Structure 1
Amino acid sequence: MFRLLGNKKLIFLLVCLILFIALMGLTFGERKSLTWPEKFLKDTVSFTQGLFYKPAGIIAGFFENMGMLSDVYEENLALKKKLSDYALDTIRLNILEEQVGRLEEALLFSERQKQANRYIWHFAEVISASPDPFDQTININLGEKDGIRENMAVATVDGLIGIVRNVAPFSSSVQLISAIDYRVDTTKAIAATTKENEESFGMIERYTEENFLEMNKIESTDSIEVGDTVLTSGYGEVFPKGIVIGTVVSRGVSDSGITHKAMIKPAANLTGAKLRQVFVIEVPEP
């Protein structure tokens, strides 16, 4: 019986070997078409691959798109940062160009003034302005260490703006001429004349609500007229002679009926928050 089983196994192996050799012959031989088992097997494998390939492609495409979105987001952030930096650089450049322009103008003005008179013009930066509308003062970055003293006149390239009131070692407070009021003891009137006629004379004693300087004590026979340029006369030894104050816009009889008064439009901007660079005028000792 065991011999019969062994013969059956041998016969089975021989049959399998014959089938394998036949299959190999069919496979490696030159053929024009596939056999039906090969076709079946190929279609089965292709169908199975298709079942897995499409979902795998969708998932892979999803993650690839997510990666691309992440790259686009990072590129947008980098672009926004570059645009922001460019805008800041443009603003800084504009500010620097404006500062250079003001400094060049101030330098030319200072040189012209040196040639015109013997005053010393100390260039100063405005570091702050009082926010109180009733306190018409600004602070500058020059003080006692720079030779600044109280009652020195202060001007811009356009004209007179004020007088030094308080001095610290490294800074000073400037009272603007917009604070002038003859009814207040802490302000000083300005003795004035005109560029057109040095014989003209008046006292600037008040700054009006209409933003004009009121010039009083003008003789009725004085030749001052609308359009004249008003200058400091130098009388009183507070404001140096020859500093531009403004332009006459009107003239009429004063309230007393004896003398005349004139309204002066200031040549310089008297808004503290808009002032950037000023000159402190030093008159050398004789």
Structure 2
Amino acid sequence: MPQFFSNKRLIILLASMIILVALIGFSMKERENITWPEQFLHDTVGWTQSVFYKPAHFVAGFFENIIEMKDLYEQNKILKLQLNDYDLLASRVKDLKRENETLRKTLEKEEALTDFKVWQTTVVGRAPDPMWYQSVKINKGSQAGIKPDMAVISAEGLIGKVDEVSAFHSSIELISSHDPSNRISAIVQGEKDPVHGLIQGYDEKRKVLLMKMIPIDKPLKEGQTVTTSGYGGVFPKGLEIGKIVGFEPDKVEPTQTAYIKPSADLYDIHHLMVVERTIQEVLVEYEEDLIEGEGAS
């Protein structure tokens, strides 16, 4: 009996091997149709894959999108920082170009002022509105030789005069100050005879100076240049103030008022020059006045 069962197992094993080889050969045979067990197996595997593939693909895609969004956020953050750095750099370059141009004009202006003693200064303080157009503070004072009533100019034109002086700083009263005593003797440069008047007052809305006390019979034209006359005792002769942009007769006096657009930028002020008339320049003005007086007589 034990030998029979042993032979039986061997027979079953051989039979199984024969059936397996037969099935393999049958499955490898070219056929137009597959058997229903194969169809069932294929359909079952396909259905199982479709059931698990879509959720798995969705989950995988979801995490891929999260990772991609995180990468995009980091890239966007870096680009924003780079853009901010570029804007700051562009703004700095623009400021440096403007400052370089201002300094170049200031240097050229200083070289042209051969008859004046000149101090180069920088604005270090300014009152906020509504006192913006009244005064500024510069970084030099009595220790540098600055004195009250000295004229102050920029590379473009007249700015004002020194008002108060401390050891290391000075306060500058702008030509746009509303102080009634802030008057400047000025000349309208004409083709023939110069026209005299007083710069007194500033229209903040129109951003123009008021030149008053001009005789009504004196012809004026828009675009004419207005300079200091040198007669006031404070401002040297020939400093450019601005250009005429309009004029109208006075309602009471037989005079007219001219509206002067300042040559200097009274809003954005950085580098200024304090100038003092030399003895030579005063003598030249005195000789010119004598010649003019002799010509008039």
User: Does the TM-score normalized on the shorter chain lie above 0.5?
Assistant: yes
Counterparts of 1:12 and 1:168, CA distance in 2: 126
Q: After superposition, where does 1:82-161 map in structure 2 within 5 Å?
A: 82-114=82-114, 118-133=115-130, 136-161=134-159
Query: Secondary structure in 2 aligned to 1:231?
Result: strand
- Which amino acid is 1:212 matched to? L
Q: Which residue of 1 aligns with 2:236?
A: 240
Tell me if structure 2 keeps the 8 A contact 1:208–1:214.
Answer: no
Q: Against the structure 1 CA distance between its residues 128 and 225, is the aligned structure 2 distance closer, same or farther, given a 3 Å change threshold?
A: farther
Tell me if structure 1 keeps the 8 A contact 2:199–2:209.
Answer: no
Query: How many residues are matched?
Result: 269
* 1:5-62 CA distance string (max 9 Å, x none): x456525522432134214533665941599598368535555444433432332222
Counterparts of 1:200 and 1:254, CA distance in 2: 24
Deviation at 1:156, TM superposition (A): 2.2
Tell me if structure 2 keeps the 8 A contact 1:154–1:281.
Answer: yes
Tell me if structure 2 keeps the 8 A contact 1:193–1:199.
Answer: no
Counterparts of 1:78 and 1:195, CA distance in 2: 59
- Which amino acid is 2:126 matched to? A
Q: Against the structure 1 CA distance between its residues 15 and 120, is the aligned structure 2 distance closer, same or farther, given a 3 Å change threshold?
A: farther
TM-score where L is the length of structure 2? 0.69
The answer for unaligned runs of 5 or more in structure 1 is none
Q: Establish whether residue 231 from structure 1 lines up as the match of residue 231 from structure 2.
A: no
TM-score where L is the length of structure 1? 0.72
Tell me if structure 2 keeps the 8 A contact 1:202–1:215.
Answer: no
Tell me if structure 1 keeps the 8 A contact 2:141–2:167.
Answer: yes
Counterparts of 1:45 and 1:57, CA distance in 2: 17
Q: Which residue of 176, 179, 188 maps to 1:178?
A: 176
Deviation at 1:284, TM superposition (A): 4.3
Deviation at 1:246, TM superposition (A): 3.7
Query: Secondary structure in 2 aligned to 1:150?
Result: coil
Tell me if structure 1 keeps the 8 A contact 2:158–2:264.
Answer: no
Query: Secondary structure in 2 aligned to 1:126?
Result: strand
Provide the alpha-carbon RMSD of the alignment. Answer: 3.9
Q: Which residue of 1 aligns with 2:201?
A: 207
Tell me if structure 2 keeps the 8 A contact 1:124–1:141.
Answer: yes
Q: Which residue of 2 aligns with 1:190?
A: 184
Q: Against the structure 1 CA distance between its residues 75 and 10, is the aligned structure 2 distance closer, same or farther, given a 3 Å change threshold?
A: same
Tell me if structure 1 keeps the 8 A contact 2:228–2:238.
Answer: yes
Aligned residues: percent identity?
A: 30
- Which amino acid is 2:130 matched to? P
Query: Secondary structure in 2 aligned to 1:274?
Result: coil
Q: Establish whether residue 268 from structure 1 lines up as the match of residue 266 from structure 2.
A: no
Deviation at 1:154, TM superposition (A): 0.8
Deviation at 1:123, TM superposition (A): 3.0
Counterparts of 1:151 and 1:88, CA distance in 2: 40
Q: Which residue of 2 aligns with 1:13?
A: 9
Q: Against the structure 1 CA distance between its residues 202 and 133, is the aligned structure 2 distance closer, same or farther, given a 3 Å change threshold?
A: farther
